[in-house]
A and B are shown apart, each in its own frame.
Chain A
Amino acid sequence: MNKRIFLDPLFKNNPIPVLALGICSALAVTVKLEPAMVMALSVTLVTGFSSMILSLLRNTIPNRIRIIVQLVVVAALVILVDQILKAFAWEISKQLSVFVGLIITNCIIMGRIEAFALYNKPFPSLVDGLANGLGYGIILIAVSIVRELLGSGTLIGYQVIPQQWYVANGGFYENNGLFILPPMALIILGLIVWVFNAKNAKRV
């Protein structure tokens, strides 16, 4: 049961390509691999713990302010993540800028709380939240590897494509600037959606 809760959001029901949630930040923070990894980790922690906390509270929450209670818990966690990044990962928090704050509005989080955490025990809810965050993270990392490698020739800041290949050094190669711009993220994401749809169609 828990294994299925964990594996389902990674592949079969991945939040980005299958459920089309969290697209906005997937386009914005995937220029470089490192911020994408930090973003993936932040979202995973927030989805996991907000689902667990709200599952613990699920039998006490007044029905009429249900959504507000969810928002307060999510917002508190996001502010904590933002403050911790500012204290311990200044450069990355600058690159992620407003997108950390916007984790609050990431549909994956509220979606998993409403659809799962409010009806399930804390541990499965934690697993479900973490898995959905990881499912989001896998896509973010996949997109950012392609974009950083082809757009900047580096991975996590390390030069991967040999310097002597570049035209400037007498070679034949040039970085493709289009990969740094948001439209290319949408195209790569489209390709990933294609792969997922093709696979899921076969299974049905």
Chain B
Amino acid sequence: MDKGKRNGNIYTIVYAALMVTLVAALLAFASQLLKPRQVANMMAETQQTILRSVHLEDQPYEKYITDTVAGPDQLPLFICTLDNGTRKYIIPLHGKGLWGPLWGYLALDDDFSTIYGAVFDHISETPGLGAEITTLFFSDPFRGKSLYHGDQFVSISVLKQGRSQNNPNAVDGISGGTLTSRGVENMIRESLKPYLPFLKHYE
């Protein structure tokens, strides 16, 4: 094709329109084709995270966990029935850290106060500092802590490292990750609030 024609306005516009339509169609087709597998991957990951909160990693999800809703507001709740028959109640958490969203799952004993397990995850917290909330080093100490002081709901405080010893309502934060630690503290309190009437109801 000669140079003059290739620089014409109409040629340029038609070329751009055709190309964009073709590429869009191709990508839409690929997306449709791959979607089921991607959704399955995402589901599998969520299920693994929920299982981690009750220390049942790599176990079949359907065997242990029942998805349900709590209270008149239809809040999501997962009930885990352990091999020995005891039930744990898993509440999803959502909040914000220093740089982006945080989320996690908190598993409670059937007194609705004692924490059985916790997992946390994030999108963009600082590696080595805030991002450490995903590690057992941070999440394991939640186990056995209590959401109530007497019959007052106090949630869990994330304190400066070393300050939480012998405190049943607090865990250690991460040195250098104070803002993310505080994000976790707020996330737990705010996410549990809507569940409180429901938890009381079960007491």
Residues of A within 8 A of B (CB): 59-65, 68-69, 72-73, 76, 79-80, 83-84, 86-88, 90, 180-181
> A181 contacts which of B3, B6, B26, B128 (Cβ < 8 Å)?
B128
Interfacial chain B residues near A61, Cβ < 8 Å:
6, 15
The distance from the CB of A200 to the nearest CB of chain B, in whole angstroms, is 35
Task: Kindly provide the distance from the CB of A86 to the nearest chain B CB, expressed in whole angstroms.
Answer: 5
Beyond A72-B19, A76-B27, is A64–B38 a contact (Cβ under 8 Å)?
no
Q: Do A62 and B34 touch (CB < 8 A)?
A: no
Closest beta carbon of chain A to B110's beta carbon, Å: 34
A87-B41, A90-B41 are known; give 10 further A-B pairs, CB within 8 A: A60-B6, A61-B6, A63-B3, A63-B6, A68-B16, A69-B19, A83-B34, A83-B38, A88-B37, A90-B45
Does the CB pair B15–A62 fall under 8 Å?
yes
Task: Tell whether, in the assembled complex, residue B6 and residue A62 are in contact, meaning their CB atoms are under 8 Å apart.
Answer: yes
A64–B44 alpha-carbon span in the complex (Å): 47
Q: How many residue pairs, one in A and one in B, have C-beta atoms under 8 Å apart?
A: 54
A sample of 7 inter-chain contacts (CB < 8 A) reads A62-B11, A63-B6, A63-B7, A72-B19, A76-B27, A86-B34, A90-B41
Assess whether A87 is in contact with B7, with CB atoms less than 8 Å apart: no
> In the complex, what residue of chain B is closest to A73 when comparing beta carbons?
B23
Q: What's the Cα separation between A181 and B127 when bound, in Å?
A: 9
| Minimal beta-carbon separation of B55 from chain A (angstroms) | 21
Nearest CB on B from A104, distance (A): 13
Query: Could you tell me the distance between the alpha carbons of A50 and B41 in the complex, rounded to whole angstroms?
Result: 29
* B161 at the A interface (CB under 8 A): no
B59 at the interface (CB under 8 A from A): no
Cα–Cα distance between A180 and B31 once the two chains are bound (Å): 35
Q: Which residue of B lies closest to A181 (CB)?
A: B128
Instruction: Contact check, B19 vs A64: say whether CB atoms are below 8 A apart.
Output: no
CB distance from A65 to the nearest CB of B (A): 6
Cβ contacts B1-32/A at 8 Å (1 or 0 each):
10100110001100110011001001100110
**Residues of chain A lying within 8 A (CB to CB) of residue B20:** 72
A76: chain B residues within 8 A (beta carbon):
23, 26-27
Cα of A57 to Cα of B6 in the assembled complex, Å:
12
Chain A residues near B38: list those with CB within 8 A. Answer: 83, 86-87
